[in-house]
Amino acid sequence: MMANCANHQQPLRARARQPGGRISVFLVVLFLVVSFTPAVSQERHLLPPAAAPPRTAPPPRSPAVDMVRLATEDPCLMLQHASTWQRDGRTLPDPLLRQAVAAVLHPDTPWTCAEVAIRSFDLYKDRLWAQDVIAPFALHHATHLLLNADFFATLHRDWTKRALAVAAAHAPTLVFSDFKTLMAVDATWAKQLTATIASQYPALAFAHATV
Of 127, 153, 182, the domain-final residue: 127
- Is 107 contained in some domain? yes
Asked if 146 and 98 sit in the same domain, the reply is no
Q: What is the DSSP string of 19-66?
A: HHHHHHHHHHHHHHHHHHHHHHHHHHHHSPPPPPPPPPPPPPPPHHHH
Q: What is the pLDDT of residue 39?
A: 44
In a domain, 42, yes or no: no
| Whether pLDDT at 139 is above 90 | yes
Query: Residue 35 domain-assigned?
Result: no
pTM: 0.65
Whole-number Å distance between alpha carbons of 33 and 45: 19
pLDDT tens digits, 33-74:
445 444 444 444 444 454 554 555 554 444 555 667 776 678
pLDDT band per the 50, 70, 90 thresholds, residue 148? very high
Residue 166 lies in a domain: yes
What is the model's pLDDT at position 205?
73
- Residue 146 burial (CB count, 10 A): 24
Give the total number of structural domains in the chain: 2
Domain hosting 158: range is 141-211
CA–CA dist 114, 79 (Å, integer): 11
Of the two residues 27 and 101, the one the predictor is more confident about is 101
Q: What is the mean pLDDT of the chain?
A: 77
Amino acid at 48: P
- Which of 158-164's residues contact partners 24+ apart within 8 Å by CB, and which partners? 158/121, 158/125, 159/118, 159/121, 159/125, 159/134, 160/118, 160/185, 161/185, 161/186, 161/189, 162/130, 162/131, 162/134, 162/138, 163/134, 163/137, 163/138, 164/138, 164/193
In this structure, the answer to whether residues 145 and 98 fall within a common structural domain is: no
In a domain, 9, yes or no: no
Regarding predicted confidence, which is higher, 75 or 29?
Answer: 75
Is there a domain that residue 202 lies in?
A: yes
pLDDT category, 92, cuts 50, 70, 90? confident
Task: Identify whether 153 is part of a domain.
Answer: yes
Would you say residue 44 lies in a domain? no
How many residues belong to the chain? 211
- The pLDDT of residue 44 is 43
